[in-house]
Structure 1
Amino acid sequence: MAMSRKTLITIKSYQNQAQFLLKNYLFADSCIPYTSILGGILLCKVIYDLTQLVSTFYVKSYNGLTKIQRIEWNNRGMSTIHAIFITAMSVYFVFWSDLFSDQQLTGAVTFRRSPLSIFSLGVSVGYFLADLGMIFWLYPSLGGMEYVIHHSLSGVAVAYSMFSGEGQLYTFMILISEITTPEINMRWFLDTAGMKRSILYLINGVLILFAWLAARIVLFGYMFYHVYLHYDQVIQLHPFGYFLVFVVPSGLAIMNLIWFGKILRGLKKTLAKKQGVQRAISPGHDA
């Protein structure tokens, strides 16, 4: 049955009101930071619930986990989606967008921003707040003080860059390192599901190695080189922004190198075990 003219007019009126609300309030320049943070928190809740729902019906081992394991499983699903989102946005802004291009002559690269860059960082701040809330709520089951410190520093750095508009390019460069989060979470998923000896676990370990090398070592070197080339613009930052550009990435770079060494040793140990098992089951081994 066709809609009446009055009904169509009413629907159109609601659409116009919704567009007005979005344009003038939720996505107005002054409201984007707060809207994006709230959206990030709400998105985390939705993803947490969806992870729980999907895992209940499609992952056999999920229902056999303890309560805290199921909570961490859902939490890691949440962090995985956030990592995919912020990595994609960061790669776009660093390598494809013209916003931070040297070809742009619209002011120092250290002060450039856009509504989309602010929104992307705000979603990430919302994630850090949501995850911190869960960590405190279940402390220390989801992580100890190192997680609290990491999330706090990350959240403050991203929030400062979002609200001040300073150093967003370097913030996105650092956030590309989130590309390693899905692989790390997958390692936990496979281990918890009893698949630590599977070939998938080994492949995932190799992916962690190469992703870590590219995003947390090589890219950090590129960031420091970029800072060197644009030091005349970097020095214009507020002292706190200057601190975030130099001190925080330097500390992270040192930790990344230490962790990379541990990843190498872990992968080497896993490969040695695989080779040992293969030799033990191969024909003629005892001949």
Structure 2
Amino acid sequence: MMVTSKDTVMAIKSYRSQAEVLVKSYLFADPFIPYTSVLGGIVACKVVYDLTQLLSTFYTKAYCGLTKLQRTEWNNRGMSTIHAVFISAMSLYFVFWSDLFSDRRHAGYITLQSSPLSIFALGVSVGYFISDLGMIFWYYPSLGGMEYVIHHSLSAIAVAYSMLSGEGQLYTYMCLISELTTPEINMRWFLDISGMKRSTAYLVNGVVIFLAWLGARVLLFMYMFYHIYVHYYEVIQMSTFGCLVVFVVPAVLYVMNLMWFAKIIKGLKKTLAKRQ
């Protein structure tokens, strides 16, 4: 029996329809979104890690001269940069542009609002934190000391709880906007390890880090605390653990942000002094 091109096209369309049904019915069905998104985040981290290694080997001269551990950190920072771009973009969208957490658009409490897309984005972020924590523990303390373990652990717990419960997602996304500073921090490391510490790019990067950190990790957190105060009645409608997450985790992260900010100011002053 001859198989015509028309039959082939029909078969392809049939397989594609079945695949779309599978994705919509299972992978992106509401009950499965948290689990598929976390798994997707972990897989995406592995793919980005390998792509960073592959592209850096062929297109970055400095990469080939690094030690094995330095190459591992280079790839890890490539992975964290892509996650930071993704989750900070999603966070900015949900906090400032989406109507999901709008006081005027919803009759219910903003602390209990969520959507399939907001759950999916948080799940991808959980997958990243799990992957990065695994690498930190495996290479401890080469990829980060105890402060990184505390930061990532608190972030993973808070984001996972918000994803699974649907509670406090607005404040979770406000905290995740702080990932805006990650690409700049990673770029500083890339420039340093590539022998460009005395370059103009290194100085400009330091200024950008200062401004981004001030905005995303200091001022924005102050606004979040004010927002929690104004919406206190809605916050206490959450579960006890949810309230604990909203009140404690941002406070701890804020203290850590201030400590790191002090180091950033000190480093920037030192760099500027050398330029004079």
> Which bin holds the TM-score, normalised by the shorter protein?
over 0.9
Q: Contact conserved, 2:38 with 2:127, CA < 8 A, in 1?
A: yes
Q: Which moved more, 1:111-120 or 1:48-57?
A: 48-57
Amino acid at match of 1:126: G
Q: Considering only CA atoms, is the larger Rg found in Structure 1 or Structure 2?
A: 1
Task: Say which SS state the counterpart of residue 142 (structure 2) adopts.
Answer: coil
Corresponding letter in the other structure for 1:113: S
What are the superposed Cα offsets for residues 49-94 of structure 1, whole Å, 9 maximum, x if unpaired? 1111111111111000000000100000000000010000000000
**SS of the residue 2:206 aligns to:** helix
2:74 matched residue in structure 1:
73
Percent sequence identity is 72
Paired AA for residue 14 in structure 1: Y
Q: Deviations over 1:222-249 (max 9, x none)?
A: 1111111111100111111111111111
Gaps of 5+ in 1: 276-287
Please identify, of 137-146 and 214-223, the stretch whose mean Cα deviation from structure 2 is larger: 137-146
Greater shift in the superposed pair: 5-14 or 71-80: 5-14
In structure 1, how many angstroms separate the alpha carbons of the residues matched to 2:211 and 2:234? 32
Counterparts of 1:125 and 1:65, CA distance in 2? 30
Number of the residue aligned with 2:18: 17
Query: Aligned residues, how many?
Result: 274
Query: In 1, are the aligned partners of 2:37 and 2:127 still within 8 Å (CA)?
Result: yes
1:163 matched to 2:164? The reply is yes
Residues 72-151 of structure 1 correspond to what in structure 2 (within 5 A)?
Answer: 72-151=73-152
Query: How many Å apart are 1:17 and its aligned residue?
Result: 0.7
How far apart, in 1, do the equivalents of 2:117 and 2:170 lie?
Answer: 13
Give the equivalent residue in structure 1 for 2:234: 233
Q: How high is the TM-score relative to the length of structure 1?
A: 0.93
Structure 2: distance between partners of 1:231 and 1:145: 32
List alignment gaps of at least 5 residues for structure 2: none
RMSD, aligned CA? 1.2
| Structure 2 residue identity aligned to 1:136 | F
Determine the C-alpha separation between the residues in 2 that align with 1:18 and 1:195.
49
The structural deviation recorded for 1:3 is 5.9
TM-score, normalised to structure 2, is 0.97
Moved more, 122-131 or 248-257: 248-257
Deviation at 1:146, TM superposition (A): 2.2
In 1, the alpha carbon distance for the partners of 2:183 and 2:213 equals 12
